[in-house]
């Protein structure tokens, strides 16, 4: 599972059907199923994470897999050990699957060519975050019935976002229309070649869409010359309740987290009945259970 780019519409449907099953099981307060008792999974994170790391770990434990967690900051990577050596050492302990977050775009693809294990990309730099896009589409499907034909705008720092690219691929695969909205300096050139319209005006984008996926400014990847100022950004691209209420229609508000409250989204929007932000987080567990289960069925 290296990116949405490598998946078909049928793959997405299978993942969603499998997630439906796990979500139904979890809704019956069944916290654990015995599906992966003979599988060991390593979560290796070279970048910080709250939602993705915990959600993968919980999904693995709910499937009864054995789990080991690796944080680069406390590891021998600090002594100069390479990525391939690190992962091959972990695999020699009879690990079957690796979930990896890494700051370098393509790190998962690189690793998959050099080690003998299933790799799940948990975010590779500004490239892809496939399980985030899957849970985002799954949440839209849950809220609006289907993704096909829906109009989705992704707002904010598209240039540094792995969520944006994976969402564009996933939404288009399912027949949604996608726009992006943000400062010109934060819109990568490739988006228009993917058939995505760029709308520089936030009000117009919100008037057009059924769903707005608000992204944070990725300061950790930012050359600040690309960025106006936080106050200027919020004035032009931040969403507040007044703007939301003035649209004259109800749109769905999403955010992959972490939120910078008061910058891209105010608290009264993030916590409103139009927001499905916490549903996205909840659905992340079922989606990751589905992805792990389907990949593990190839190992067994």
User: For binding to ligand CP (CB under 6 A), which residues are involved?
Assistant: 49-53, 123, 132, 256-258
Detail the residues annotated as belonging to a binding site for carbamoyl phosphate. 51-52, 101, 129, 132, 257-258
Min separation Cβ 43 and ligand CP, Å: 11
Min separation Cβ 256 and ligand CP, Å: 4
Render the burial of 72-103: b for 16+ CB within 10 Å, e for the rest. Answer: beeeebeeeeebeebbeebbeeebbbbbbbbe
- Distance in angstroms (rounded) separating the CA atoms of residues 147 and 174: 6
Nearer to ligand CP, 1 or 35 (CB): 1
Min separation Cβ 50 and ligand CP, Å: 4
Nearer to ligand CP, 163 or 290 (CB): 163
Residue nearest to ligand CP (CB): 52
Contact 215, 256 (CB under 8 A): yes
- Distance in angstroms (rounded) separating the CA atoms of residues 143 and 155: 20
Identify which of 195, 193, 155, 190 has the alpha carbon closest to the alpha carbon of residue 171.
195
- Distance in angstroms (rounded) separating the CA atoms of residues 35 and 30: 13
Min separation Cβ 167 and ligand CP, Å: 12
* Structure tokens given for 228: 């106006």
Nearer to ligand CP, 99 or 208 (CB): 99
Nearer to ligand CP, 198 or 222 (CB): 222
Detail the residues annotated as belonging to a binding site for L-aspartate. 79, 162, 216
Complete DSSP assignment for 137-167: HHHHHHHHS-STT-EEEEES--TT-HHHHHH
Identify which of 158, 175, 170 has the alpha carbon closest to the alpha carbon of residue 134.
170
Nearer to ligand CP, 183 or 256 (CB): 256
Nearer to ligand CP, 101 or 141 (CB): 101
- Distance in angstroms (rounded) separating the CA atoms of residues 21 and 40: 22
Min separation Cβ 229 and ligand CP, Å: 24
Helices (H), 155-266: 162-173, 190-193, 202-208, 230-237, 241-245
Min separation Cβ 277 and ligand CP, Å: 10
Nearer to ligand CP, 69 or 236 (CB): 69
Min separation Cβ 48 and ligand CP, Å: 7
Detail the residues annotated as belonging to a binding site. 51-52, 79, 101, 129, 132, 162, 216, 257-258
- Distance in angstroms (rounded) separating the CA atoms of residues 255 and 155: 10
């Amino acid at each position: 599972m290296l990116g949405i780019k490598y998946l078909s519409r049928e793959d997405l449907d299978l993942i969603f059907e499998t997630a439906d099953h796990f979500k139904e099981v979890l809704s019956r307060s069944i916290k654990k199923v015995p599906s992966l008792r003979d599988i060991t999974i390593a979560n290796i994170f070279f970048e910080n994470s709250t939602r993705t790391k915990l959600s993968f770990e919980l999904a693995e434990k709910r499937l009864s897999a054995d789990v080991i967690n690796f944080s680069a900051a406390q590891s021998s990577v600090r002594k100069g050990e390479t990525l391939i050596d690190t992962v091959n050492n972990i695999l020699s302990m009879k690990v079957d699957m690796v979930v990896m977050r890494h700051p370098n775009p393509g790190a998962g693809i690189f690793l998959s060519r050099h080690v003998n294990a299933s790799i799940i990309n948990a975010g590779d730099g500004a490239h892809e975050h496939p399980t985030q896009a899957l849970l985002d589409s799954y949440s839209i499907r849950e809220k609006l019935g289907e993704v096909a034909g829906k109009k989705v705008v992704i707002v904010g720092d598209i240039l540094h976002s792995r969520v944006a690219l994976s969402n564009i691929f996933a939404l288009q695969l399912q027949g949604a229309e996608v726009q992006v909205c943000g400062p010109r300096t934060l819109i990568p050139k490739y988006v228009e070649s993917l058939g995505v319209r760029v709308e520089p005006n936030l009000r117009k984008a919100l008037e057009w869409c059924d769903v707005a996926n608000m992204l944070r400014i990725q300061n950790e990847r930012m050359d600040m010359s690309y960025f106006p100022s936080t106050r200027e950004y919020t004035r032009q691209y931040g969403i507040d309740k007044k703007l939301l209420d003035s649209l004259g229609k109800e749109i769905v508000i999403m955010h992959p987290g972490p939120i910078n409250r008061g910058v891209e989204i105010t608290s009264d929007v993030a916590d409103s009945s139009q927001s499905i932000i916490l549903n996205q987080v909840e659905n992340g567990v079922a989606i990751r259970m589905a992805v792990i289960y389907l990949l593990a069925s190839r190992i067994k």
